[in-house]
Amino acid sequence: MPTDAADLRRRTAELLAAHPPTRLPPPQNEGPAGQHLSSDTEPLDFLRARFDAGLAWIHFPEGLGGLDAPRALQAVVDAELEAAGAPGNNPGRIGIGLGMAAPTILRFGTDEQKRRFLRPLWTGEEVWCQLFSEPGAGSDLAALATRAVRDGGGDWIVDGQKVWTSGAHQARWAILIARTDPDLPKHRGISYFVCDMTDPGVDVRPLRQITGEAEFNEVFLTGVRIPDAHRLGEIGEGWRVAQTTLMNERVAIGGARMPREGGMIGVAAADWRAHPELRTHDLHQRLLKLWVDAEVARLTGERLRQQLTMGQPGPEGSGMKLAFARLAQEISGWEVEFLAEDGLTYDDWTLRRPEGVDFTGREAGYRYLRAKGNSIEGGTSEVLLNIVAERVLGLPPEPRTDKDVAWKDLPR
């Protein structure tokens, strides 16, 4: 029987009846046959039950948090649960797992890997991070030098350094790409692994940012042993697997659903309304342009999410991430200029380890500083411009003289 909105509402009601997330009066707290149910469900138990009911990612397969239902109907479930006061899984804390690791595991993981990783990933019991970028590779991710060498028992021994790793200090698992064959060209000698961040040889060190915080880390891998059962995809196919991660990452960063005048443009508009004494004609014209640009980006994001319901994300996500970075930097710059000396205030310069990025709940000075990283993280704007030019607009690619050269022979 196909799953439609009515069926999803019925399933959601059954979940709420069996696992009430808030305390209900006794007359309302009975099951269909009059059986009295517990008056309260712990948040983690509710999230587990929601996953098992197929209401986590409804477009995922049955048994893996989904119902093989159209992705667009997820909003029906979310609205019903929100209205009931059901607990969420804190996407800001587990965004890398939700937006990057999960789609990759679903597409390339074995049945055993999917069963092992997806449920605790979605419930937030296990946090994930991404071990991709390296200090010696810059924007050319395929030039990575972290090595994974097979030992006699079939495991992989990994040595190298990763950088700009968000949330590594909280993570239980990491998605990792490493070079397994230096004799092949750089894109073809890479394999993709799941790395246990609690293993010996994993050293996580904070990187202090311009905001004073340390969301990011550098991670040193010294003799880290990864079983072959934690490899995603075939040996040497890591770049192809990583493309799924990267495309989903750019959608996760730049394509989040927003209400009209949501996000940073909403904060800027609220500042404008609250401070008529600071208004000028020039600032007004610039704010209007930014508001229109933000609305265009929001509506484009809605179209992109509609495309996602038909399959895997494509290079269009790179365009969304580009727009997100530009708008965040321009809006935060406008806000600092509008608020004058008050725009430079920043309440906490101490070294902190936040769980996520808060662009709307902090001061203008924080937003201005933090937005500078938006054009670097998740793929630099320069790289994304090339992707849009070549894969969306069909323009000729830049000459690449290293395309067929073995990685070991490339200058570094």
Report the amino acid identity of residue 224.
V
Q: Categorise residue 201: left if φ over 0, alpha if ψ from -120 to 50, beta otherwise.
A: left
Annotated catalytic residue: which of 249, 316, 330, 363?
249
249 in active site: yes
Catalytic annotation, residues: 249
